Amino acid sequence: MRYSAWHILKQGLTGNKGWQPMWREPEPKPAYDFVIVGAGHGMAAAYYLAKVFRAKRIAVLEKGWLGSGNTGRNTTIIRSNYLMPANQPFYEFSMKLWEGLEQELNYNSMVSQRGIMNVFHSDPQRDAAARRGNAMLFSGADAELLNTDDLRRKAPFLDFENARFPIKGALWQPRGGTVRHDAVVWGYARAADALGVDIIQNCEVTGFQIQDGVCTGVETSKGPVRAGRVGVCVAGSSSRVMEKAGIRLPVESHVLQAFVSEGLKPALPGVITFGAGHFYVSQSDKGGLVFGGDIDGYNSYAQRGNLPTVEDVCEGGMALMPFIGRARLLRMWGGVMDMSMDGSPFIDRTAITGLYFNGGWCYGGFKATPASGYCMAHLLAHDRSHATASQFRLDRFLRGQLIDEKGVGAQPNLH
């Protein structure tokens, strides 16, 4: 629904009593054609399944509230600066969907394409950055190699003079940037609900209905739900959920911490990453510096991290841009990353007929949301992979066809 400026002003002056909920709160029906577990990538999948593939009788089951998982626990960065031929076209597809998302959903997701700069510190890193930039250009993405003078003009606050790690330049993607994370899931939810998708919050999947190798539904905290096809998109909880179907995944769960400082005047031109350590940073619309680093080095399902990682992230930030040492930390949080063994995701059928899996996103989950949802919807609708995600198979380790892109998260794998 579209509101006039007068209507919005009236609501603001009268206590916002006339707003309607953006989506319904239905109870689960006994049966659906499609059940999608998880309301992050799963919410995007439900929307595209209904909108693009014209499917009906769709339900999204979320164990918490919308945005309580990784969709609301990340550093909001979008980019398509990947190297491997299986990954780069996929993330560029996602970038194109991001660029039209607000018009597509008629919802302000605050897509801000301010650019991302991956700073490098040595000649070998420069060569690796050039190689990555060429791979980006081959897939139709944008990339530019900045020398030191170029980078000084864009980010004069970096420590060029006294740096422990000399700054040699950066790989710049002008179309990269940030998006308001919770607004993404809200926008998809509103649009999916308008297409008839049932969004069922506080509904945890406790098991799968499997008979003779066929998945016919799920058991939930709100009772059994039958389904023609079931898709699982639960990020860091992937191993625990798929274990209920007797499936062991090549995935480990780790905490990835993030932080935000007090609000500052506009200082950063876009997203900046440190090539000699684990640190990346952007500035939010409120002025806070949003930053993070590498995963904690142990397996965990907890949405909290530890102090050694905090120290490591702050050391990286101070080495790159010492002025942040004056900023006070406002808060921190953790998301549970589903880390695959080769740094690349899965969107595939399982060995159980009617059961499909989406996960293993490592550091790339949020930026992949639109393309992941679209390709998952294609898989559910047609029982075959979308061309862009055709190599994201679960059996690639058995076949020896890894998509080895480790280190593409906190560090852009430039050394």
Tens of pLDDT along the chain (415 residues)? 566 778 778 877 887 777 788 999 999 999 999 999 999 999 999 999 999 999 999 999 999 999 988 888 899 999 999 999 999 999 999 999 999 999 999 999 999 999 999 999 999 999 999 999 999 999 999 999 999 999 999 999 999 987 778 999 999 999 999 999 999 999 999 999 999 999 999 999 999 999 999 999 999 999 999 999 999 999 999 999 999 999 999 999 999 999 999 999 999 999 999 999 889 999 999 999 999 999 998 899 988 888 899 999 999 999 999 999 999 999 999 999 999 999 999 999 999 999 999 999 999 899 999 999 999 999 999 999 999 999 999 999 999 999 988 655 544 443 3
CA atoms within 13 A on the CB side of 404: 4
Domains and CATH numbers, the chain: 29-112+178-250+341-415 (3.50.50.60), 113-177+252-340 (3.30.9.10)
Structure pTM? Answer: 0.93
